[in-house]
Structure 1
Amino acid sequence: MSTVIVTDSTCDIPSEIINKLNIHVVPCSVNFGIESYLDGVEIKAEEFYNRLTSSDVFPTTSQPTPNQFLEIYNSIPKESDILSIHVSEKLSGTYNSALQAQKNLSDRNIQVIDSQLASTALGLVVIESAKQAQEGKSIEEISTLTNNALANSNVFILLDTIEYLKRGGRIGKAQAFVGNLLKLRPILTLNDGAVEGVKKTRSKQAGMNYLQEILQQQTNLVSVAVLYTTNEQEALSVANDVKEITNIDNIVISQCGPAIGAHAGPGAVGIALLNG
């Protein structure tokens, strides 16, 4: 029996990869006041960041509803198993919405996983899972491989401003870390599914240098993604660093969608790492 991979729009996987690997994406919602848009469907990254930096209304995000998951699950042929891999439960209610939908489809073989990750750290694992699905592996095999990969994936993101993270309310354990940063630029990661501070840097370049140090510490990299919100040139520069330091050429370069960008803010750049 074939397996289909489902994820949510926080994964920040480029659309060409989603289409190539037949990944089904359930969109989160982005809200500007009373106006609500489906992430990546009704509002694209360029329009979102234009509004983020020019609007007086601060955007909020919300998880997909169980009905949205039911719609996606029901669109997948009944003879296929479904592996549904989602953003950390500590950051979003997306995982719980997927669980509720799963309970309403007891006749289907649906497994739902809390990745404890977000953005391209989640995305890299979803990509690997989808490749395994295309190779014809069973859902049990893919689930085991996915959980192993999740334990070896993480993201490090350098913020240009902490304003959006603090206003978005998803700051978690990093609250004390960023509380008095003023003009410092923090590098954040995820630990046990929650946002955590790694390093405080005094300039953007110092932060970029620290990302290089993180890359140099890796010994068993399988794949790397470079993520950014508004500055593609910085992302391309980081991608060149990745190639020089790791000798990995097939790098995923991804602009963060609204679900992540609403909290990271403009000017953010980072790396996601999947180790073997």
Structure 2
Amino acid sequence: MEKIALITDSACDLSIEKLKEYNIFLLPFRIIYKDREFNDRIDIEPDYVYSRLPGEIPTTSLPDVSLIDETFSKIEAEGYTHAICVSVSSAMSGTYNSVRLVAENHPNLKCTLFDSKTVCAPVGAITLAVARMLEFGHSFDEITNALPLIRKNVTGFYTIETLEYLQRGGRIGRVAGTLGEFFDIKPIISVSDDGVYYSYSKARGKKQAVRKLKKLLLDFLEKDKYRIIIMQTGDLAEATEFLNEIKDNKNVIDICISPLSPALGVHVGPGLLGFTVLKEHPLYEKL
């Protein structure tokens, strides 16, 4: 009889409560300050990171290999026969390859590693869809075969308050960052099918960017039913206002707010606002 473990990394943006609810094993990124190191989501909260950003921008690192190995050993010890791991895009992180190498040392555990080719809440949306499939009694092979479809049904968009942190982290050039700040340009960012960031559109000022985000989300909701995750860094009030403008739409199955993982938030800074949508499908919804 199959006993299937579900694993993801902390780029999924799922809360500890949600992880416990669905018995999801977490591989935390590391957040490194000059005087201390933290495990993402385990012993550090997003708001702590954002409050300290003006004074220090920490570095981030992959989940510790020994911790990944301990997680696989724990899974085996608890009698699991199979494991499904949903990872952050391999184009943005080496986590997928680290997990792959560790999994090879646990041949008694039949494991599928899925490169989500995305980041943040979309990873969490995929993971939760898998969790619901497990609840509905789907087999390991059925879930593995469904993963590409689940990924196809997920997308996300966000805008940011400032380009400063992308610039300081080397993700955009100094000239582009300076010009963007000078003209108050706010990009609306998504992730391509190849698993890398791209600029979907641009807006002049945060208010216009938020209006574009709202229209984009309403365009989705005109066509199908969706689960929605509102993404935010350090501005819960703004995210709550955005949620309240959407929540009563007849095509919203479920909607919640999720703070961006600290390990990702350090690269965009406070003031990010965005959304993730997961399209309804009978494989992972009770229709």
1:48 touches 1:258 (CA, 8 Å); kept in 2?
yes
Helix, strand or coil at the partner of 1:95:
helix
Q: Would the alpha carbon gap of residues 79 and 40 (structure 1) be closer, same or farther in structure 2, given more than 3 Å must change?
A: closer
Secondary structure in 1 matching 2:165? helix
Q: Specify the code of the residue in structure 1 equivalent to 2:66.
A: N
Distance in structure 2 (CA, Å) of the matches to 1:161 and 1:227: 16
Question: 1:136 is matched with which residue?
Answer: 137
Gaps in structure 2 of 5+ consecutive residues: 281-287
In structure 2, the partner of 1:59 is 58
Report what 2:158 is aligned to: 157
The residue type equivalent to 1:222 in the other structure is Y
Counterpart residue type for residue 197 of structure 2: V
* Alpha-carbon displacement from aligned partner over 1:137-165 (angstroms, at most 9, x marks no partner): 21111122222111221110110011112
Match of 1:266 in 2: 270
Runs of 5+ unmatched residues, structure 1:
none
Name 1:248's counterpart in structure 2: 252
Tell me the residue number matched to 2:232.
228
In the alignment, what sits opposite 1:15? 16
Give the TM-score of the pair, scaled to structure 1: 0.92
**1:200 paired to 2:202:** yes
The amino acid across from 1:29 in the alignment is: R
Report the AA paired with residue 214 of structure 2.
Q
Asked whether 1:28 is paired with 2:32, we answer no
Q: Highest CA radius of gyration, 1 or 2?
A: 2
Query: TM-score under structure 2 normalisation?
Result: 0.88
Counterpart of 1:223 in structure 2: which amino acid? R
Which residue in the other structure is 1:42 paired with? 43
Report the Cα offset of residue 78 of structure 1: 3.5
Q: 3-state SS of the aligned residue for 2:84?
A: strand
Matches within 5 A, 1:209-228: 209-218=211-220, 219-228=223-232
SS at match of 1:181: helix
Is 2:117 the counterpart of 1:116?
A: yes
- Residue 249 of structure 1 and its aligned partner are, at CA, apart by 5.2
What residue is the counterpart of 2:67 in the other structure?
68
Percent identical residues: 28
Higher alpha-carbon deviation: 28-37 or 196-205: 28-37
4+ aligned runs moved over 3 Å, structure 1: 174-180, 244-247
**In the TM superposition, what is the alpha-carbon distance from 1:170 to its structure 2 partner?**
4.8
What per-residue deviation string (whole Å, max 9, x for no partner) do you get for residues 108-159 of structure 1? Answer: 1111111001111111110110111122221111122222111221110110
Deviation at 1:92, TM superposition (A): 0.9
SS at match of 2:266: helix
Cα distance between partner residues in 2 of 1:19 and 1:164: 32
Equivalent residues in 2 for 1:75-90, closer than 5 Å:
75-76=74-75, 77-90=78-91
Matched letter for residue 59 of structure 1: P
